[in-house]
A = this chain, B = another copy of it.
Amino acid sequence: MTQDAFSETPITTASDQVFVDMRREIVEGSIVQGSKISEPELAKRYGVSRATLREALNRLESCYLVERKANVGCRVVALTAERLIEVYQVRSALEGLACRLAADNMAADEVQSLKQLLNQHLKTQRVKEGESYYQEAGDLDFHYRIIKGSKNDHLIHLLSNGLYQLIRMYRVQMGMVGPRVSKAFDEHLAIINAIENHDGELAELLMKRHISASQANIQTKFNLHAAQNERAEQ
């Protein structure tokens, strides 16, 4: 599974392409957070007309990566501590729900496949100790499968097309490569066990706790970042 796991959009039209490209650049920070977006400039850069670019901007707004004001323009979302908290509060509630539903609705083979994936991640983790593979792609993959396991299309859309790009943006730009790898693995294991036992209540609780831990982890990095920036400005 690639880093574009959550973008299941088949790219047919030109604005699709621009949307996907811009999304990657924003998430990775090539287009810096908080910066203003000039329509004529970017249209030229991507080699499309302004109408096509605006179509892409609309979709980026839908997934909270840019913000728009009438007659003023677009700017990339700013990664603040407050927003991080807000997003994670919402994420916790929604993914908790997804987890509870998955305990009822996930097919047996889906559960088995996910357990297998976890084991595979464990191996990979041992081999590439210290690498960010597991934390980045592996973690996303795990969460994504559970979300889909909820079988609630509205919820799936809300999380994969709505929140996760923003979450990834925080993770990538904060440089999430911490020592949480092994801990996260254990937490993942407990969650999948609860799901396998169809214990929705427990699964929800564990997922919420897992996400809280993840939030605390990012927040630490965030403060570190902020401190660095302050020092740099002096």
What's the dominant secondary structure at chain A's contact region?
Answer: helix
Q: How far is the CA of A165 from the CA of B179 in the complex (A)?
A: 43
**Could you say which residues of chain B place their CB within 8 Å of the CB of A96?**
93
Tell me if A187 is interfacial: C-beta within 8 Å of chain B: no
Chain A residues within CB distance 8 Å of chain B: 10, 12-13, 16, 51, 54-55, 58-59, 61-62, 64, 70-71, 83, 86-87, 89-90, 92-94, 96-97, 101, 152-155, 158, 162
**Which of B10, B62, B152 contacts A62 (CB under 8 A)?**
B62
Smallest Cβ-Cβ distance to A159: which chain B residue: B90
Closest Cβ neighbor of A69 among chain B residues:
B12
* A227: min CB distance to chain B, Å: 25
Which residue of B12, B89, B92, B101 is within 8 Å of A89 (Cβ)?
Answer: B101
Which chain B residues border A152 with CB–CB below 8 Å? 86, 89-90
Asked whether B89 lies within 8 Å of A93 as measured between CB atoms, the reply is no
A-B contact pairs, 9 of them (CB 8 A): A12-B71, A58-B62, A86-B152, A89-B97, A89-B101, A89-B155, A90-B94, A93-B97, A158-B162
Nearest B-chain residue to A150, judged by Cβ: B89
Closest Cβ–Cβ distance, residue A35 to chain B (whole Å): 21
Select from chain B the residue with minimum beta-carbon distance to A61. Answer: B62
What chain B residues lie within 8 Å of A62 (beta carbons)? 58, 61-62
Residue ID in chain B nearest A86 by CB atoms: B154
Bound complex: CA of A66 vs CA of B192, how far in Å? 35
A159 smallest CB distance to B (angstroms): 10
Tell me, in angstroms, the Cα distance from A89 to B59 when the chains sit together. 25
**Cβ contact of A58, chosen from B13, B55, B97, B155, cutoff 8 A:** B55
Nearest 7 CB-CB pairs, A to B? A86-B154, A93-B97, A58-B58, A12-B70, A62-B62, A93-B93, A86-B152
Q: A64–B93 Cα gap in the complex (Å)?
A: 20
Q: Which of B54, B64, B92, B158 contacts A90 (CB 8 A)?
A: B158
A96 to B89, CA, bound (A): 12
Which of B10, B90, B155, B158 is A155 in contact with, Cβ under 8 Å? B90
Across the interface, which residues of B come within 8 angstroms of A90, CB to CB? Answer: 94, 97, 152, 154-155, 158
Contacts of A58 in B (CB 8 A): 55, 58-59, 62
